[in-house]
Amino acid sequence: MSRSWFNGELVDGLLAVDRGERGLLLGDGLFETILVLNRTPLWGNMHLARLESSARELGIGFDRDGLDDALAELLDGAARDHQILRVTLMRGAGVRGLGAGGQAPSLLLTLDLFDPGLMFKPVALSSTAIRRNPHAVSCRLKTLSYIDNIAAAREAATHGMEDALMLNTDGHVACSTIANIFLLKARTLITPARDQGILTGVTRQALVHAAAHLGLSVEERAVSLEELEAAEAVFLTNSLRFIRPVTALDQQPLPQADLSPLMGALCETARLQCGQDPRTVDLAKRGR
């Protein structure tokens, strides 16, 4: 069952949102989606640091102490151990005009059931003509303005695919609609750099940090489509899905090197932080 906290209190049922809320009317806000294991937000500090940095850049009020207190209240009464936490920060209600400010920011926290079947699940991608703009704020920050990703995902669904490969305006590989992308080639992890129109994901950061312990080097740079197709393996990273091997692009099979060491490295960091190996969550859930 879902659980919500909104602007100072726990809420059951529907929310009462101000009709002038800029997050609702204009997508003027930010969000983070976080896996909760054993009532502990995985890589929570990294997620909230990104939220705080983005809020500062956009001029949206951010109270970290207040957010921490709200999270504690929400998680303390959670009915299940393993859930999806979403933190949504909006500018608040304000007068008309794109450049106007909000009277006070709005903060919404929600907990929803986590489906462990999403983790590590192989995925086939389709191409899309929708491009990521390296100069756009909406590509660099995790804003509520997700319409390009939504359109690309809906386009992929019409081709029977779960996700789409998005290129940037220069024609280089950027990401999928909901994940960062990596290539494995000769003991090197290759991933599009920050200036390639990507959102630098938290799981992406965690994997880059873990790579050295596996004897892997990491290159963050521009990546061509031809290089992707010639890699030993291609995979996606996402906070809820961890690592997902990409099996095909536009119905053309891609090579499948062993990714289990990378999966294990991410799971070990989760176990150390939350006391739970995510690979056991599915078994734990079945046992309830």
pLDDT digits (tens, 9 = 90+) for 45-70: 999 999 999 999 999 999 999 999 99
Can you tell me which residue has the tokens 């489509």? 225
Mean pLDDT by groups of 10 residues along the chain of 288 residues: 86 89 94 93 96 97 95 83 92 80 89 89 97 96 96 96 97 98 96 97 96 94 97 97 96 95 92 83 46
Confidence at residue 282, expressed as pLDDT on a 0 to 100 scale: 56
Can you tell me which residue has the tokens 């809820």? 240
Reference 178, options 244, 256, 276; nearest CA is 244
- The structural domains of the chain, with segments of one domain joined by +, span 3-114, 123-274
Q: Cα angle vertex 213, ends 231, 227, to 5°? A: 15
Can you tell me which residue has the tokens 């809020």? 55
Confidence at residue 280, expressed as pLDDT on a 0 to 100 scale: 76
What CATH class is the domain 123-274? alpha beta
CA distance 190 to 223: 8
Confidence at residue 116, expressed as pLDDT on a 0 to 100 scale: 87
Question: What CATH number does the domain located at 3-114 have?
Answer: 3.30.470.10
pTM: 0.93
CA distance 54 to 52: 5
Confidence at residue 115, expressed as pLDDT on a 0 to 100 scale: 87
